[in-house]
Amino acid sequence: MSPHGPSHTLEIRNLSVRAGGRELLSNIDADIRCGEVTALIGPNGAGKTTLLLAILGLVPFSGEIRFCRAEEHGQGTPRIGYVPQRIDLDRNAPMTVLDFFALSSQKYPVFLGRSRKSRAEAEASLGKGGVGHLIDRQLGKLSGGELQRVLLALALRGDPDILLLDEPVSGADVSGEELFCDFLDQVHKESRFSLLLVSHDLSVVTRHAGRVICLNRAIVCQGATTEVLTPETLGAMYGSGAHLFSHGPADGHGHLHGGEGK
């Protein structure tokens, strides 16, 4: 860490995204700080994934997104790692986890075979994530949790400066979810990338994120997790019926829940 406190990896200024005549995001100002875990929370349709896509340059936006690279990561444009929520693949798609790694790591086409180097690299990355045994499984047949750990292993391979995780524990069972978060904590401590985490699960947010950005088409509030996650802000975001520690999707407010304090 720099002696002047955490610097910003990502500065978002006055960002708006419009699509089909509707404003999906308006006037977003936010900073992702270097080396910190920032959680992005908000109800369904709040524009969380849209914000990630804007950062990735996948949707047109107005305003500005500046990437600032911390000195210890060296010169050049920062690398962004991305773990999508799900992938667009049939269960039977003929593609193994190793194929998937080789697609991005080797120059020659995968149909000519996978290089030894691809396999060694894939083994190392998957092994670090504790999912080395999945290497020859078909990608489409993995469970949600397994898939996310494979995608995470792949996203981490290029030593990203910023890692964007879209709903990292959706589709994972409880023990898988804990493993995933522990693994994430561990690699985050080792590599000090900035992590932007979209989550519906407030227990994950309170345990792992230092900062929170509450989004509902515009910024509701942002700041340190302990200051931001108050009943007032949650009410503003999810509607007044929501409580931080009530496990109540039945009240019509979607996935808001806080598992730990129940």
Give residues in contact with another protein (CB under 8 A).
Answer: 19-20, 52-53, 56-58, 80-84, 87-96, 98-100, 102-104, 106, 108-114, 138-139, 151, 155, 158, 164
Q: What are phi and psi of 136, to 5 degrees?
A: -100, 10
d(CA 257, CA 29): 26
Minimal distance in Å, beta carbon 77 to another protein?
10
Dihedral of alpha carbons 262, 211, 51, 183, sign: negative
d(CA 193, CA 174): 25
Minimal distance in Å, beta carbon 150 to another protein?
11
Minimal distance in Å, beta carbon 90 to another protein?
8
Minimal distance in Å, beta carbon 75 to another protein?
17
| C-alpha distances in Å from residue 36, one per residue of 49, 132, 198, 245 | 20, 28, 14, 25
**Closer to another protein by Cβ: residue 164 or 214:** 164
**Closer to another protein by Cβ: residue 138 or 233:** 138
**Closer to another protein by Cβ: residue 101 or 183:** 101
* 227 CB-side CA count, 13 A: 7
62 DSSP β-pair partners: 16
**Closer to another protein by Cβ: residue 139 or 228:** 139
Minimal distance in Å, beta carbon 37 to another protein?
19
**Closer to another protein by Cβ: residue 66 or 86:** 86
The candidate with the shortest Cα–Cα distance to 30, out of 53, 15, 11, is 11
